[in-house]
Structure 1
C-alpha cells in the first residue's frame, strides 16, 4: 500500500508537470496571432497578384 507522503509527492509532481506545460503553452500563444496575420497578409497579396496575372492583355 502506498504511503500518504508517496501519494502526495506523486500528485505534486503531476501538478508541477501540468504547470510547466501550461506555462510553455502560454509563452507560445502570444506569437500565434502575429504569425497568422503574416500568413493572411501573404495570401491577400498572392491573390491580388494572381488577379493581375489573369487580366486580359489590352
Structure 2
C-alpha cells in the first residue's frame, strides 16, 4: 500500500501516444500502440521528465 504522502502528491509527465487502427470484418481494432517520453538530445538520451509547458 502506498504511503499517504505519495498517494496525494501530483505528478507532471509529458508523453506521446500513437495508436494504429485496422479495420477487421467491419470493426476497428487496435493493431499497434506505442507510448514514449521525450528525451534529452544532449548525448545521453535520458528521459526528459523535467519539462514544463
Question: What is the TM-score with the length of structure 2 in the denominator?
Answer: 0.19
Please tell me whether Structure 1 or Structure 2 has the larger radius of gyration of its CA atoms.
1
| Greater strand proportion | 2
Structure with the bigger RCO (C-alpha within 8 Å, sep 6+) is: 2
| Greater helix proportion | 1
Question: What is the TM-score with the length of structure 1 in the denominator?
Answer: 0.19
